C-alpha cells in the first residue's frame, strides 16, 4: 500500500471538505458572544445600579462598611436571576438548537 501523505489527491480532497469559511467562524463567534452578553446583561445592569446607589448612600452617610455594598448587590442579582431565569433558559435553548441545526451545513 503506497504512502498517502498530505499532498496526495485524496488527502487534499479531505482537507478541502473540512475547511470552514472565515465568515462562518465569525458568525458563530458573534452569535456566541451576543448570546453570552444577553444572558449576563440583566444581572450586570442590576449589580451596577445597586452598587451605584449603595456607593452614593455610603458617601452621604460616611458609612464605609464593605458588607453594606456586597449584600444588596447579591440580593439584587439573585432576584433578577430568579425573575429572568425562564427567559435566559429559553434564549440558551434557542441558541443551542440553532447551533445543532447548523452542524450538517458545517460538514459540507
In this predicted model, what pLDDT tens digit does every residue of 6-50 receive, in sequence order? 444 554 454 455 567 788 888 889 999 999 999 999 999 999 999
DSSP 3-state of 21: coil
In this predicted model, what pLDDT tens digit does every residue of 83-93 receive, in sequence order? 999 999 999 99
User: What span, in angstroms and rounded, lies between the C-alpha atoms of 82 and 94?
Assistant: 19
Query: Residue 17: what pLDDT?
Result: 52
- Asked if 30 and 99 touch (Cβ cutoff 8 Å), the reply is no
* pTM listed for this prediction: 0.72
Amino acid at each position: 500500500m503506497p504512502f498517502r501523505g498530505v499532498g496526495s489527491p485524496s488527502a487534499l480532497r479531505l482537507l478541502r471538505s473540512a475547511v470552514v469559511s472565515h465568515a462562518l467562524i465569525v458568525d458563530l463567534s458573534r452569535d456566541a458572544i451576543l448570546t453570552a452578553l444577553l444572558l449576563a446583561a440583566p444581572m450586570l445592569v442590576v449589580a451596577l445600579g445597586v452598587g451605584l446607589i449603595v456607593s452614593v448612600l455610603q458617601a452621604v452617610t460616611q458609612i464605609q462598611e464593605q458588607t453594606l455594598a456586597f449584600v444588596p448587590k447579591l440580593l439584587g442579582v439573585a432576584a433578577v436571576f430568579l425573575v429572568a431565569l425562564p427567559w435566559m433558559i429559553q434564549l440558551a435553548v434557542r441558541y443551542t438548537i440553532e447551533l445543532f441545526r447548523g452542524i450538517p451545513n458545517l460538514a459540507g
